Chain A
Amino acid sequence: MQIQTEATGRWQLAPENLAATTFPEHADAAVADSAEIIEQQTEYQPSFTGTGKEYFRIWIVNLCLSLATLGIYSAWAKVRRLKYFDRNTQLNGAAFNFHGDPMTIFRGRIIAVLLLFCYHYLFTFSKALALSLFAIFLLGVPWMMRSALRFRLRNTSYMGLRCQFHGTLAGAYATYLPVGLVVLLPGLLGVLIPHKPGIMVFAFIPYLSWPWLHARMRMYQHNGLAVAGIKSSCSLTKGSFFLSYFIIGLSLLIFVMLVGMGTAIFFASFKNHAAESYRIFMEAYSWVLIPAGFLVVLLAYAIFLSGSTLLQVKIWNKSWNATRFPRVEIDSHLPYKAYYFLQLKNLFLTLLTLGLYRPFAVVNVYRFRLQHVSLKAVGLEQLLAMQHAQVAQAGKSGQVGQASGDSSADLFGFDLSW
């Protein structure tokens, strides 16, 4: 209940110059009738109409053309892919759509390749260069992350409305600057204080703050979503992911250590105590080691996947359950076991088909995730209709740009993700 009032308060504060006659009435009504409203809530289930078969052909043609054009086409391929997924996603009788300009993505890609090239080849070149690249990355990445989020959302539409991302630039820096610092620190220290493995161990210590950093990234993202003027709020806290990370991370660490130690002890004792039979064994059966090693790696990966999937599921559910729009609640209930077996199946089939199963896997996971998320709202139709009319009205008074014709997103847009 606390969340609801807080969210309503935000909602009320944000568009100050709105026509005062219509807006507060609705807000008051929302608070007053809240008890009744919960009973009248309808559940809206998104659905996905895409198929692995159809996406396979899109994917393979995309891949082929991207290869043939040395990656240039990949920007156009991305638009095609996002259009396929968005347009096949339906909610309450309307489909989503994606309107991104491939040129914007292409521009982002050139910058990404240049930055990665610098990081890859120039970072270790000299201390001065490493420091300046470090500064460029640190200052650039938060801006780019925000731009990418804005690009993705502003180019996504639903019922003719554009989505929005309204996370602030200051928020982006507060969120991603520490992340950049933690990720880049080991590399920087390696260049500034070379040949000191002791210090390098310390350089990785800040990674322990990852559960908090991850939660803060999710908070920044989920607090900034909007469909037209309906803004999201997110009740995650910085410590929300700590327990999941702690338990799962610790068990995985112990597992990895046990396997590593076991293998080492096995080989070492075999070699020391029975040097002769070890030699004979190696000469006769060294060919067995490849398939056997492959199986062991696969098994270890399956166990590792069980941990990482659990973490993924926990964080996914927590993040979406904590996110709500005024008078709209999100219910995410991704089931762990079924999701894990789906991922395992995808992994094996992808390996078995040398990657050709990948588009089927992507569609399976996307559909599965959509199946386990739903919206709960009272009269979603009326809410959306009312909201958009107000934004359009505000747009006329010059305060908020009209959502449907927002080309500034493309002008200043910047997209990084693959």
Chain B
Amino acid sequence: MIQAHYFDHRQAMLHKVVLHFQASGISLTGEGIDRQVDKNQMQLEEPFQDAPCILNFADGSHCEIYAQADKQNLLTHLGYSPSTIQRWQHKWQAALLAIIVMAGIVFSGYKWGMPVLADKIASFVPVSYERALGSEIINLLDQVLLKPSKLDDRTIAQAEQLIRRLRPEDSAVPIHLEVRDAPEIGANAFALPGGTVVVTDQLVTLIVGNSGNQLTNALADELSGVLAHEIGHIQNRHAMRRLVHKGLVTVAMGSLFGDFSSVAALAPAALVGQEYSREMEIEADTYAIAALTEKGISPKHLANVLEDMSKRRKRSGVEATPKWLRTVYGYASSHPATEERIARFREVAAAMEQK
């Protein structure tokens, strides 16, 4: 015998009834109510610990059973068997196991799934979109970070000559050079989606020095080294792959934590604040070594520039401190240590000289 609240769905009225179990089903009796319900004419909803049990009948009416003892009684009598998910929910150990499983999914998804998926998606991105995006980014950078180059025309022409010599015939995007003054960035070079390589005045000055040297011979080879590395990024579509990857991570985070509005807010940050992964840097270095060797340039020149750049960065590290955040967080990033890269170039160069 079970106490229940019965609702007939014709009238929103609470009828107190008593349920009796019978061979064919159950009977409901109460004030003005006397009905028999067949076993296969009813269905029990997933039971929760303190919520009333809900017994739905085929004609749309339902019963709510409140007392714990009655609920237990009902479940036993109806032979209710919980679904796999419900059984999982009921056990603490199993629920805690879910945390471990999730950590595993998140970790492996982030570590292996995302990059593969990002590369797949990036390979579907049409070159025209990539180029449009690239010009969008350089426009944006020209407004906020970059200024027109202050170098003389001849030096720029020499630099452009270098990239023309290096760029491969089979490139999917037109590779070209932009030289810009960038006091805030310092001596650096970077590749944008769509084939644009940006070299800062500060990098060219670092290479040629302040005494008006020409960008020729060994100095030209040093810049060539940097350019080859950047072309390596372009040939492997690193910018696009990285962008798609960041987008995926942001979307995944956004949907995980339920706040999708943050996705839109993070988009500009993803466009500008690009940093390549360790694997990508190594890939670009490998390309650079091959390209330089093919043109008869020793990779040691690239090692020299890198060394100069890292020295310069160490010296000016403190001065550039509105980015104190960068000093704090930046060195924990994914870049392969510059020393490692320099050592690699020197090793290859030495091996080549021995031959």
- Extra contacts, 4 of them, besides A51-B49, A56-B95 (Cβ < 8 A), are A50-B51, A67-B102, A125-B132, A392-B10
Q: Which residues of A contact B124 (CB under 8 A)?
A: none
**B52 contacts across to A, CB distance below 8 A:** 87, 90, 95
Pair A50/B50 contact, Cβ less than 8 Å: yes
Distance from B298 Cβ to chain A, minimum over Cβ atoms (Å): 37
Interface size of B by Cβ–Cβ distance < 8 Å?
A: 54
Main SS at interface, chain A:
helix
Shortest Cβ gap from B283 to chain A (Å): 25
Q: Could you jot down 29 A-B contacts, CB within 8 Å?
A: A49-B51, A50-B50, A51-B49, A60-B99, A61-B88, A67-B105, A74-B255, A83-B46, A94-B5, A95-B51, A95-B54, A116-B260, A120-B251, A120-B264, A125-B132, A159-B13, A160-B9, A160-B60, A195-B139, A282-B318, A282-B327, A290-B328, A381-B13, A385-B11, A388-B10, A388-B11, A389-B10, A404-B9, A418-B258
Closest to A73 in B: B85
Q: How far is the CA of A388 from the CA of B62 in the complex (A)?
A: 16
| Contact assessment for B321 and A271 in the assembled complex, using a CB-CB cutoff below 8 Å | yes
In the complex, the 6 A-B pairs of residues with the closest C-beta atoms, listed nearest first: A160-B7, A49-B50, A384-B12, A64-B98, A57-B95, A160-B9
Q: How far is the CB of B46 from chain A (nearest CB, A)?
A: 7
Binding site for A on B (CB under 8 A): 5, 7-14, 45-46, 48-52, 54, 60-62, 64, 85, 88-90, 92, 95-96, 98-99, 101-102, 105-106, 129, 132, 136, 139, 143, 247, 251, 255-258, 260, 263-264, 267, 318, 321, 324, 327-328
Given A93-B14, A97-B54, A63:B98 Cβ within 8 A? yes
Check A388–B12 contact: CB distance below 8 A: yes
Contact A125 B12 (CB under 8 A): no
Number of A-B contacts (CB under 8 A): 136
Q: A88 touching B263 by the CB < 8 A rule?
A: no
Q: Is the C-beta of A289 less than 8 angstroms from some C-beta in chain B?
A: yes
Q: B7 near A94 (CB under 8 angstroms)?
A: yes
The reply to whether the CB of A371 lies closer than 8 angstroms to some CB of chain B is no
Q: Which residue of A lies closest to B106 (CB)?
A: A67
Partner among B8, B102, B129, B247 whose Cβ is within 8 Å of the Cβ of A63: B102
Alpha-carbon gap, A147 to B318, bound state (A) = 56
**Contact A381/B247 with A95-B51, A120-B263, A125-B132 known, Cβ cut-off 8 Å:** no
Given the interface pairs A57-B95, A87-B54, A125-B132, the reply to whether A71 lies near B255 with Cβ below 8 Å is yes
A356 to B102 Cα, complex, angstroms: 12
In whole angstroms, how far apart are the Cα atoms of A381 and B13 in the complex? Answer: 7
